[in-house]
Every structure is written in structure tokens, then in C-alpha cells.
């Protein structure tokens, strides 16, 4: 199996399959190659399945032109701040800022200082998914984690959030 090995001052061993199907193994500096090989053998079925899934997703993903991306950026700047304002009022929270990025691996994020970022690619998803991502990030203002309390914040606004999350992963 082809993979890129990245050693760092981490304590755990992890494998990541990127959007293009490439595999990255992240390992502690002094972990033996034998332990890494054993870990990869244990995870081989998962890695193979995930690489195939990522390749299928990539094949189904439309290729966007610069014009398409610019259109999505304009749409995101028009739609997302309005949704953030609406849901923030409903949830009783206030984000420090709202930014639109061209991130490809995550649709939204919330910084430690409660600044929200949303990917312009979120605009390619169905509206229930967009609402879910907005509420998800706003919930991080109160809960900077993925605890039961965090999901309770989301469920209070979107009782069907699990279905929306599932749709987001499928679309």
C-alpha cells in the first residue's frame, strides 16, 4: 500500500485518506516501522474501503471553473450571513465574525474566539444541509467540543439534525 508517512511530536498513530484517495499515516517520532506496519495491516480493510469511497466521490464531484467558484462565493456572501444572523438570534449567541473561504475539506469552522468560517462549497449542498452546518458552527460558540451538550444545542434548533447530517455526508 502506498502512503505518506508524517512523523511528529504526537502521541498517537493515525491514518487519513484524503479526498483524492491518497493515504497519509501520522506517527510519533520514535514509533517503530514494525508497529506502523502492524497498525496498517489491522486497518487495511477500512483503508481500502475508504480509498474506494473517496475515488467514487471524486468521480461524482463536478469540476468547477473559476467562474463557478466566484458565483458560489457571491451566493455564500449573500446567503450565509443572513442564515447566521437568523439562527444566532434563535440560539441566543453572537459570532465574532463570519468569513467565506474556499476550504475543500470542511464546510464550516468556529475559532476559539468564536469567529465562524464557511466554505463557498457549502453552497453546492441542499438547504437543509446548509442550515445544519450553520447551526453546528453556532453551537460551538457555547460548546467548543462535540459533547452531548453540544449536540443538545443543535437538537434544540434542528430536531432532525441527524437526518440533515446524513444528507450532508451523502450529497
**CATH for 66-170, options being 1.10.3720.10, 3.40.1030.10, 3.30.2010.10, 1.10.2020.10:** 3.30.2010.10
- Helices 161-170, 127-142: crossing angle, 10 deg rounding: 120
Q: Which of 37, 44, 49 is nearest to 13 (CA)?
A: 37
DSSP lists the bridge partners of residue 8 as 28
Domain residue spans of the chain: 4-60, 66-170
d(CA 171, CA 128): 11
Per-residue pLDDT of the chain (171 residues; tens, 9 = 90+): 899 999 999 999 999 998 888 999 999 999 999 999 999 999 999 999 999 988 887 777 778 899 999 999 999 999 999 999 999 999 999 999 999 999 987 999 999 999 999 999 999 999 999 999 999 999 999 999 999 999 999 999 999 999 999 999 887
- The whole-angstrom separation of Cα 142 and Cα 94 is 10
- Cα 123 to Cα 79: distance, rounded to the nearest angstrom: 9
Amino acid at each position: 500500500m502506498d502512503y505518506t508517512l508524517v512523523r511528529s511530536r504526537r502521541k498517537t498513530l493515525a491514518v487519513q485518506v484524503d479526498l483524492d484517495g491518497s493515504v497519509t499515516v501520522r506517527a510519533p517520532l520514535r514509533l517503530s516501522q514494525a508497529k506502523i506496519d502492524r497498525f496498517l495491516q489491522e486497518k487495511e480493510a477500512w483503508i481500502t474501503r475508504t480509498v474506494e469511497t473517496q475515488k467514487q466521490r471524486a468521480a461524482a464531484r463536478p469540476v468547477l471553473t473559476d467562474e463557478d467558484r466566484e458565483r458560489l462565493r457571491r451566493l455564500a456572501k449573500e446567503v450565509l450571513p443572513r442564515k447566521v444572523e437568523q439562527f444566532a438570534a434563535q440560539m441566543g449567541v453572537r459570532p465574532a465574525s463570519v468569513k467565506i473561504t474556499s476550504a475543500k475539506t470542511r464546510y464550516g469552522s468556529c475559532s476559539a474566539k468564536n469567529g465562524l468560517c464557511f466554505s463557498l462549497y457549502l453552497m453546492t449542498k441542499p438547504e437543509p444541509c446548509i442550515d445544519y452546518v450553520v447551526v453546528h458552527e453556532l453551537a460551538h460558540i457555547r460548546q467548543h467540543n462535540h459533547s452531548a451538550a453540544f449536540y443538545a444545542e443543535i437538537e434544540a434548533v434542528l430536531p432532525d439534525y441527524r437526518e440533515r447530517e446524513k444528507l450532508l455526508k451523502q450529497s
